Homo-oligomer: A and B are copies of this chain.
Amino acid sequence: MPTLQARGIDKKLINKVEELISSGKDQILKGIIDEMRAADVADLIEHLDKDKRLFIIHLLEPEGAGDILVEIEPPVQENILKSLDNESISEIVQELDSDDAADLIGDLPSERAKRIIEAVDDDVSEELGKLLPYPEDSAGGIMALEFVAIMADATIQDALETIRAKREEVENLYYIWVIDNFERLVGVISIKDLILEPVETKVKQIMNPNIVSAYAYADQEEVIHLAKRYDLVHIPVVDDQNRLVGRITHDDIIDVIEDETDEDISFMAGVLSQEIAEESVFKITKARLPWLIAGLFGGIMAAGVIKKFEASLEQLITISFFFPVVMAMGGNTGIQAATVVVRGLATGDIGLMNIGKRLWMELRVAMINGLICGVIFGILSGFWLSDYQFGAILALTLMLIIIIAGVIGSAIPLALHKLNVDPALGTGPFVTTSNDILSLVIYLGLVTSLTHIIS
Contacts and interface: CB of A to CB of B under 8 A. Distances in A.
B320 A353 contact: no
Contact of A324 (B230, B302, B332): B302
A215 B299 CA distance: 51
A444 to B, nearest CB: 11
A48 interface: no
A198 interface: no
Interface string A318-362: 001111111111011101101110011001011001100010010
Contacts of A173: 190, 192
Contact of A336 (B291, B324, B325): B291
Contacts of A39: 229-231
A343 B6 contact: no
Given A5-B214, A240-B2, A365 B228 contact: no
Given A2-B240, A3-B215, A292-B373, A433 B328 contact: yes
Given A254-B257, A303-B325, A336-B270, A285 B368 contact: yes
Given A298-B328, A320-B323, A269 B364 contact: no
Interface string A250-279: 110110011001100110111100011100
Contact of A369 (B7, B40, B288, B317): B288
Contacts of A373: 289, 292-293, 296
A29 interface: no
* Of listed A173, A265, A333, residue having the most chain B CB within 10 A: A265
Given A265-B265, A281-B364, A317-B317, A271 B306 contact: no
Contacts of A288: 336, 365, 369
Contacts of A321: 303, 306-307
A237 B364 CA distance: 45
A419 interface: no
Contacts of A227: 254
Interface string A216-249: 0010001101111111010000101010000000
Interface stretch (A17-25, A57-65, A101-109, A375-383): A375-383
A172 interface: yes
Nearest to A372: B289
A164 interface: yes
A11 to B, nearest CB: 6
Band of interface residues on A: 35 or more
A239 to B, nearest CB: 9
A322 B299 contact: yes
A172 B233 contact: yes
Contacts of A295: 328-329, 332
Contact of A339 (B223, B271, B299): B271
A373 B294 CA distance: 10
B218 A4 contact: yes
B365 A268 contact: no
A421 interface: no
Nearest to A254: B228
6 contacts: A6-B226, A233-B250, A265-B343, A288-B336, A299-B322, A303-B381
Given A173-B192, A174-B192, 16 more contacts: A4-B215, A11-B353, A40-B229, A163-B196, A195-B195, A228-B254, A266-B339, A269-B335, A284-B365, A293-B373, A298-B324, A303-B324, A323-B323, A323-B324, A324-B327, A327-B328
